[in-house]
Structure 1
Amino acid sequence: MAVFPVTIIESSPQGLMAFVAESDFTVTDSAGKAIASTIDMGASSDDAAVAKIEGPESKEAIRAACFSRNGALFAVCTNEKAILIYETASWSLKRRLVSEKRTNALCFDPESKYLITGDKFGDCHRISVDNSNDNDNGNDNDKPEILLGHVSILCSVGFSYGSKPYILTCDRDEKLRVSKYPNAYNIQAFGLGHREFVTSVATAPFASEIAVTGAGDGTVRLWRLETGELLQTVELDSLMRKYYESGKAKCGENTREDRTAATQRYGVLRVRSSESLRSFVAVVERIPAVLVLPIGDDLISFGEPVLVDIEAAPTDVATTEDGFVVSFEPHTAANQEEAPAIVAYKKNSADYAVDDALTDSLASSVATPQTVKQVHVPSIFVWGNKQFLERPQGEEEEEHEE
């Protein structure tokens, strides 16, 4: 039996880490010790009980997850439009509701009072984390409040830092929108310049005037929030072409899972910020490396980029206190049938090296569901290409999803 790959990693400022695989997730502390899971794990290696979490019903695949800034809350959304909010102190389910449209992206507002959702129809909603309006049979009567709308799929949502934070939304139509909060109909600025779908946005408390985005156009871009000014563009081809030339990165196979046949593309999977490293980190589809972009002393520009070679193409990345954690598809790493593929890295002086202690702890702590056949993670270009122009010949049209 193979295992489902970890496709989402989320970390909280307080050191919690959540590892999502299909419909399940496991939560660890900063040392990589399991503290809670939707999978019944019994006890951890030191015989301490691992809390059993109530997961999504009917084994619905999880599409997105997030921690609140204060670490008190955690939320997931599923393919079947379910949204679940947990209290991390007890890992009890605080709220469960069903959205009208399929949710693609999640984040909590800075005060951890509301969960913000972005869906495939371009709408952004605000959901109270208080369940006082739930009725006796468990149904939620406190309906989500619409904040703003795009005319395209929302891919990522987030907030800036500072006394008056902005809500940031990214869509498949190549743009970043900066809106005031909570009156998000007041648009502060647009970040225009990407040539493909914008997959991820990140902000940082150490550089509150900027935001960093990654996209399917092979760039990572740095923006001034107040004006939407494009401050810097990092072209990934010049940095990462060597991985294709050496054979470490492979072009697509023109299948349902991978639309990028015979092309050297650089689709950014995720951008994260790291307070301790004073940097932004990014991972790119099929590229076995993590890109570290330090922020300059002026706090509005990148310093010299650093590429950290990793063992295989990543599925996600999250930052830790002194480095980052990367996940891979199991079939690209050793022991694919025994444990999920997760490796931690930490900074040693100017270099990054594998954190053996944390990696070993995660290998023994993170549980993932099993599957009969190998699972391949679909390319982001499957949904990112608006016309699905790379659909393999003979493949039937996908049914329209509400």
Structure 2
Amino acid sequence: MACLGFCGEWFLSTCSSKLIAIHTKEPREPFVFDCSRAEKRLKIAKDVNSSDASEDTGSDTVLAFAVSSSGKLMAITDDTKRLILFQCEPSWHCISIRWVIRRCTSLVFSPAEDELLVADKSGDVYSFSVVEPEKDGELKMGHLSMLLAVTISADDQYIITADRDEKIRVSHRRSPYNIQSYCLGHHQFVSTLEIPKGHPHWLLSGSGDGTVKLWEFESGRKLQSWDLGQLEDKLCSDTAKGNNTAVFRICSSPGGRDVAVLCDGLMNVYIFTLEQTNDEKLRLHSKLHLFHRPMDIGFDMKGQLWVLLDSSDVPLQIHTYRKNSWEGLYAGGGGWRKDGSLESRENAGGEGVECDTENDNLRRVTDILRTQWSTTDNFTSVTNHFEHLYKVSFDNVSVYLQKKQQRIEEHQLKRTKGQKTKCTKKSKKKPDEVLTQPST
């Protein structure tokens, strides 16, 4: 699975077992960390009399990563159950490698950057110290279902978790057993959470039911809901076969005005605007059509939307908001082209527009990323991240009602036959003799 993010001025991308960090402003040497070459954990044999120890094996694929609010720290976790902490500035280096109990699904730094919360597949949240980078994790809280997302409120008061059972739980951070509220309303697993910048009391959630919902999370009140499946004129082949439209990523711009939404398997990115002045707080602004399958999205510090594409020739596309519209920029076909959406390409007659020299850094990031992807032999794109999370439902009520009706009909038929038989037997009997009184 390939993902992107930003750590200050560093562009981040995970590709199979690799973490790639490329500076977007200065021609610094890129930082590359390969989990397949990292420290292995020894797996001790269960037999106490045996001194044999073997390496704990795994695929080394990066499962999740998180960046601190200051952009100075980053953490990743992989399929071999490593939790790796990095320092980004002033230079990249690995601070520590620790081990988690179970494979993780989501990470988040505390606002003070002294704690790292890790959510895993068993439904538990562990706390790992950043100040003491060698210290083991401590169990913080748990769900009865697989956790898929975790975040912390801007005021550091609440831990917000989302699980496979459609629940969003808001717990007090200092005492997680004390639940503040639930945000209920999704009909499938909740796949992603986002507290938009500048709106510390709001929460955006995406789900396998194809909806994006806006909440006032302290009270659990739903403010608005968008069904993205209804916005698709022509779904991709996977969706057309009957699969649901799952929301894969929700991210907000640094100013908090723009919100980008990416759905699993679709060729579009939806951009909404957040406003507090009217009833329609989440309003659809643009639908960006892409010519390669998008794998992840993210805003940089300037508010530009970066899209990671499933293409070795065109791995990146950057969209900038200008004159009330989003213009796209990408590298491919031997040169740089300007192409924000399907509509803008048609208006431009399909001709590419060369970029200014200020975009040389963008060219450099794309070239380095393309080189690193070409050296990653295990790179494979994932077209459906959530197929295994959909619950299989069985409609046994209709079968029960059908059998019940059949039993009722059989019982009525049996009663009818019994009544007919009784009447026939009575008709075959001789009439009783009439007893007459003797005359006196």
TM bucket normalised to smaller: 0.7 to 0.9
Instruction: Tell me, in whole angstroms, the C-alpha distance in 1 between the residues paired with 2:230 and 2:324.
Output: 22
**1:378 CA drift (Å):** 4.8
**Are 2:293 and 1:313 aligned?**
yes
Q: How many residues align?
A: 343
CA 1:277/1:180 → structure 2, altered by over 3 Å: closer, same or farther? closer
* Structure 1 unaligned spans of 5+: 1-5, 41-51, 135-141, 253-260, 331-335, 390-402
What are the Cα deviations for residues 353-397 of structure 1, in whole angstroms up to 9, with x where unaligned?
1235365232112223645687241512323124499xxxxxxxx
Q: Within 5 Å, give how 1:1-400 maps onto structure 2.
A: 7-12=2-7, 14-31=8-25, 35-38=29-32, 60-89=60-89, 90-131=91-132, 134=134, 142-162=135-155, 164-240=156-232, 242-244=233-235, 249-251=236-238, 262-263=241-242, 265-276=244-255, 278-298=257-277, 301-320=281-300, 321-330=302-311, 336=312, 341-356=315-330, 357=359, 359-366=362-369, 367-368=372-373, 370=375, 375-387=380-392
| TM-score normalised by structure 2 residue count | 0.72
Instruction: Tell me, in whole angstroms, the C-alpha distance in 1 between the residues paired with 2:132 and 2:278.
Output: 40
What are the Cα deviations for residues 124-164 of structure 1, in whole angstroms up to 9, with x where unaligned?
011001346x4xxxxxxx221111111111111112223x4
Please give the secondary structure, in 1, of the residue aligned with 2:363: helix
Instruction: Tell me, in whole angstroms, the C-alpha distance in 1 between the residues paired with 2:324 and 2:202.
Output: 25
| TM-score normalised by structure 1 residue count | 0.78
**1:345 CA drift (Å):** 1.1
Instruction: Tell me, in whole angstroms, the C-alpha distance in 2 between the residues paired with 1:106 and 1:374.
Output: 23
Report the AA paired with residue 380 of structure 1: H
Report the AA paired with residue 193 of structure 2: V
What are the Cα deviations for residues 289-318 of structure 1, in whole angstroms up to 9, with x where unaligned?
111111113388212342122222211111
Report the AA paired with residue 131 of structure 2: D
**1:265 CA drift (Å):** 2.5
What are the Cα deviations for residues 242-265 of structure 1, in whole angstroms up to 9, with x where unaligned?
132xxxx2226xxxxxxxx71153
Using CA pairs under 8 Å that are at least 6 residues apart, name the structure with larger relative contact order, 1 or 2: 1
Query: CA-atom RMSD, angstroms?
Result: 2.7
Equivalent residue for 1:3? none
Instruction: Tell me, in whole angstroms, the C-alpha distance in 2 between the residues paired with 1:103 and 1:24.
Output: 17
Larger Rg: 2
Instruction: Tell me, in whole angstroms, the C-alpha distance in 2 between the residues paired with 1:264 and 1:306.
Output: 24
Identity %, equivalent residues: 22
Equivalent residue for 1:257? none
Counterpart contact for 1:327–1:343, Cα < 8 Å:
yes
Instruction: Tell me, in whole angstroms, the C-alpha distance in 2 between the residues paired with 1:128 and 1:372.
Output: 34
Equivalent residue for 2:44? none
Q: Which moved more, 1:90-99 or 1:274-283?
A: 274-283
Counterpart contact for 2:197–2:253, Cα < 8 Å:
no
CA 1:15/1:78 → structure 2, altered by over 3 Å: closer, same or farther? same
Counterpart contact for 1:296–1:302, Cα < 8 Å:
yes
Instruction: Tell me, in whole angstroms, the C-alpha distance in 1 between the residues paired with 2:316 and 2:172.
Output: 37
CA 1:362/1:78 → structure 2, altered by over 3 Å: closer, same or farther? same
Counterpart contact for 2:196–2:204, Cα < 8 Å:
no
* Structure 2 unaligned spans of 5+: 41-57, 331-358, 395-440
